[in-house]
Structure 1
Amino acid sequence: MKEFKVEKDSVEESYRWAYGWRVVDGKCSPPAMNFPLPDFVQARIDWASHEMQAGMGLTFQGAFRALLDIDDEKSIREDWECWGLSEYMPVSDKYREWLQDPILHDIRRVAVMVGFIYA
């Protein structure tokens, strides 16, 4: 049986990315503003967010698929090439490893969704 070791800081950090809301100057501040996601994660969120803001038909479901369903990258790329405005952004090994962490994958998926919604 494979043993996994998770650093306490890593667990706390992952939860802050999803649930780290604060009030700043009397206004609600989302987690990614208070606890920035890793650059390679934020870059992928920004890529999908830019495409959605362009108003060319990318839905939340399509964006979440491109951000989270990374095991089916061939299909995601094919769909993107049909309707995307920008070039497809391949999933980096670093992003894949981070998102598919054997213990923290669920909370990191939530962090990506929250980061995208409030981008």
Structure 2
Amino acid sequence: MEKDRVVESYAWVYGWKVKDGKCAPPAKNHPLPEFAQKRIDWVSDAIQNRMLTFRGAFKMLLEIDDEKELKKEWDFGASSDYMPVSDEYRNWLNDPILGDIRSVALMIAVIYG
């Protein structure tokens, strides 16, 4: 079971493929968990609507320890509702062994969609 979690997490970063002669990013080949994808979609929409920079998006995805401060910053400049960090997302991202590689997977998913 532990090996499967490790293999899956690394596939989210290194699972690039070529499909129909085009580069396909890992999230297209190895989908992230639904709760993570929902948060990615939330920040991606904000980026597309020019409410959030990449740095701001990464903060909303990765720097989740002080949620009160995150919500305050979101409410200051956004025109949509803040998305609270779910316990499932928090536990997944804060995994002591796989948290760092999962952080990279989130960044890759935002950049390459």
TM-score, normalization: structure 2?
0.97
Does residue 99 of structure 2 align to residue 105 of structure 1? yes
Q: Separation in 1 of the partners of 2:24 and 2:69?
A: 35
Q: Aligned-pair distance for 1:86?
A: 1.3
Does residue 24 of structure 2 align to residue 29 of structure 1? yes
- 1:41 is aligned to 36
Q: Aligned-pair distance for 1:85?
A: 1.8
**Percent of pairs identical after alignment?**
61
Question: Which residue identity does 1:33 align to in structure 2?
Answer: K
User: What is the DSSP-based 3-state SS (H/G/I as helix, E as strand, rest coil) of the residue aligned with 1:28?
Assistant: strand
Q: Separation in 1 of the partners of 2:55 and 2:79?
A: 17
Q: Gaps spanning 5+ residues in structure 2: where?
A: none
Question: Structure 2 residue aligned with 1:94, among 88, 92, 96?
Answer: 88
Q: Which runs of 4+ in 1 moved over 2 A?
A: none
Q: Aligned-pair distance for 1:92?
A: 0.1
**Size of the alignment, in residue pairs?**
113
Q: Aligned-pair distance for 1:29?
A: 0.2
- 1:3 is aligned to none
1:68-111, Cα deviation, whole Å (9 max, x unpaired)? 00002111100100111210000000000000001001100000
User: After the TM superposition, which residues 1-119 of structure 1 pair with which residues of structure 2 at under 5 Å, given as runs?
Assistant: 7-56=2-51, 58-119=52-113
TM-score, normalization: structure 1?
0.92
Q: Separation in 1 of the partners of 2:62 and 2:48?
A: 19
Q: Separation in 1 of the partners of 2:56 and 2:50?
A: 13
Q: Gaps spanning 5+ residues in structure 1: where?
A: 1-5
Question: Which residue identity does 2:30 align to in structure 1?
Answer: F
Question: Which residue identity does 2:18 align to in structure 1?
Answer: V
Q: What is the CA RMSD across the aligned residues, in angstroms? A: 0.9
